[in-house]
Amino acid sequence: MSFISIITFAQESQKRANKKIKVLNIGMFHMGETSDANKTEYNEASSKAKKEIDYVVKSIANFKPTIILVEQEPRYQTKLEEAYKKYKADTGADIGYYGKSEIGLIAFAIGKKTNVKNIYGIDHKMEYNYDLKDIAKKNKSTKYFELFEVLNNKLKGLIGNVNQIGLKNTLLLLNTDKSYDFLLNYNADMLSYVSSEKGFEGADEAAKFYQRNLRMFSNVNKVPMSKEDRVLIVSGATHAAFFNVFMKRSPIYELQSIKMYLE
């Protein structure tokens, strides 16, 4: 082997060593039925919505995922796989809850179009109290109410009405650093402004939500994947905000921008 060949081989080896798993992390609002406190009214069965969903599916399919992760608890993995198998055989088949949610409408549809074999559930349920207004009043946590007002004013400009601006533009707005920061603030960090003289009531509740998302990220890391895989994550936008934080500083993953596919 020549000296030049040795250098080239070393360079290629270094590239392979430095290669990261490409991830397209998409934050969604929940379609169909959801147990979440905040629900977006979106008629996924309307002709307008069907066209919007079809456009998003075709566009995101260009990412060419090899693995898809969705907001479903791992204990339902068998049910998830059965529904996906049924959907791939017949897109019109009755797959229950999945058929009206972003799991079926977006994840399954992209999976079928790109021949993805494996779809994994990565959710982890944990209850926490996100409404601390009464405790805040009792303990005169004025900063909490100040922040609440600021964030509610920001909400109008950051996250648009899907029925007015369409699905594509809604996803582009949801999946920005500004929106992610807002969602982390609104759903978790804001709670830390609520406390009693000797207690940490708000911080403790926020910690539960951080813990839930850390456990979801742990579920991501349990999924068998190689550096050749391309991973699509479809989850609620606040979960996507957490994944964005975790993956940005990870030496394992390389985040891809949704703008590359939807604009």
pLDDT band at 1 (very low <50, low <70, confident <90, very high): low
Q: What integer pLDDT is reported at residue 26 of this predicted model?
A: 98
Looking at residue 90, the DSSP 8-state letter turns out to be: -
Q: What integer pLDDT is reported at residue 34 of this predicted model?
A: 52
pLDDT band at 17 (very low <50, low <70, confident <90, very high): low
Let me know if residue 3 belongs to a domain.
Answer: no
Let me know if residue 147 belongs to a domain.
Answer: yes
3-class secondary-structure state, position 161 = coil
Let me know if residue 226 belongs to a domain.
Answer: yes
- % of the chain with per-residue pLDDT over 70: 89
User: Taking 50 as the threshold, does the pLDDT of residue 88 lie above it?
Assistant: yes
Distance CA 43, CA 113 (A): 23
User: Taking 80 as the threshold, does the pLDDT of residue 185 lie above it?
Assistant: yes
Tokens coding 130:
């996100």
Of residues 161 and 48, more confidence is placed in 48
- pLDDT tens readout for residues 131-178: 888 888 998 999 999 999 999 888 877 777 888 889 999 999 999 999
Let me know if residue 207 belongs to a domain.
Answer: yes
Nearest to 178 by CA among 160, 161, 158, 162: 158
- pLDDT tens readout for residues 199-234: 999 999 999 999 999 999 999 999 999 999 999 999
Strand duo 230-236 + 21-28: pairing:
parallel
User: Taking 60 as the threshold, does the pLDDT of residue 13 lie above it?
Assistant: no
Let me know if residue 33 belongs to a domain.
Answer: yes
Q: What is the pTM of this model?
A: 0.89
Count of domains for the chain: 1
Let me know if residue 143 belongs to a domain.
Answer: yes
The range of the structural domain enclosing residue 59 comes to: 22-262
Over range 169-197, report the average pLDDT: 94
Distance CA 141, CA 149 (A): 13
Let me know if residue 119 belongs to a domain.
Answer: yes
Place of tokens 């030496």: 251
Q: What integer pLDDT is reported at residue 204 of this predicted model?
A: 95
